[in-house]
A and B are shown apart, each in its own frame.
Chain A
Amino acid sequence: MTRIVDDQPHPDDEIIRARQRERARIMGWLLGAFIVLLFLITLAKIGTGR
């Protein structure tokens, strides 16, 4: 059985990579914000003695 390997760059590849980059950047910001939020919640909880 012959397997055909397509080495040509696909027009979708750049779109896929761009979307992945954009989503990764947004996810990074969201996770950073979440960590800051958890830190502030912890401070508030300690402050109210709960």
Chain B
Amino acid sequence: MQMTNPAALPADWRDLLALTKPRVMSLVVFTGLCGLLAAPVMPPPVIGFTAILCIALGAGAAGALNQWYESDLDSMMRRTANRPLPAGRIDRQTALHFGVGLAAFSVILMELAVNWLAALLLAGSILFYVFVYTVWLKRRTAQNIVIGGAAGAFPPLIGWVSATGTIDFLPLLLFAIIFLWTPPHFWSLSLFVRSDYAAAKVPMLPLVAGVAATRRQILLYSLVMVAAAIAPWPLGLTGWIYGASAAALGAGFVAMAFAVARNGATDPSKMGPERRLFAFSILYLFSLFAAVVADRWLVQ
């Protein structure tokens, strides 16, 4: 019987959807929506919807281009080996065309329907993620996700600019919060899946600087991030709902980061604190940005 080469078949739409990293996109869409809803002025609903759609499509395009470039790495890591490209369900050219087309479409639609500054920021975030993080930094330095984290920090800024057309201090702080949140989030993951990164020769911090140094860095970044997250309240940019939420969530984050710093285990099966911090960091970001919106609509 003749065997079918999956890559020779037309790509299944589910695989094209998987190229966009839908789970990452959900966080991007949520923070972008919160940036838009936290703005002092509201665009017409259809313009707001289009702005969020463009952010989602732009994030999907960046994810597709990232997978196109990194298919060799993905095939070496257990966590990513079943993605459409390393599994051979999509050919590289289809993935490249899909990513470039989606990126161009999202930026052009953002410019036509929303405003040029939001389109410029969206284009910048896609290009930053693809060229600065994926192509330049990821395989070269342990600071890959520190600098590359900026790409994931753009959505609330783009959401705000979609509503106002201007860049203000609060969305810049929201940008800073995600920028500072990214290292403890990814380093806690990289601690308990570091054998994957070692197999793919990706220079994540635990492999380059060691497990103990990574735990110290996680704690340091967590302290700075929590301080930055509380800052909008004393600066008068948000009300008490956000301030109380940021303080309570921050206390939980710091407590978990301390637990990570105290953990001496090197065996991934004994890295409970790291797994808990990784899971909580996602809940933390969702909750913090929900608090920004709740504060804007209920207090201000």
Contact = CB atoms under 8 A, between A and B. Distances in A.
Interface string A23-48: 10010000000000100110110011
Given A12-B4, A15-B4, A37-B50, A47 B13 contact: no
A15 B10 CA distance: 9
Interface in B1-33: 1-2, 4, 8-13
Interface in A8-29: 10-12, 15-16, 19-20, 22-23, 26
A19 B12 contact: yes
Contacts of B11: 19, 23
A30 to B, nearest CB: 10
B76 interface: no
B44 A20 contact: no
Contact of B50 (A12, A16, A41): A41
Contact of B46 (A16, A22, A26, A44): A44
Interface of A: 10-12, 15-16, 19-20, 22-23, 26, 37, 40-41, 43-44, 47-48
Contacts of A15: 4, 9
B207 interface: no
B176 interface: no
Contact of A20 (B1, B4, B10, B50): B10
A38 B201 CA distance: 46
Contacts of B12: 19, 22
B2 A11 contact: yes
A44 B44 contact: yes
A24 B113 CA distance: 26
B47 interface: yes
B10 A37 contact: no
Top 8 A-B pairs ranked by shortest CB distance? A44-B44, A40-B46, A19-B10, A41-B113, A44-B46, A12-B4, A26-B13, A44-B47
Nearest to A10: B2
B46 A12 contact: no
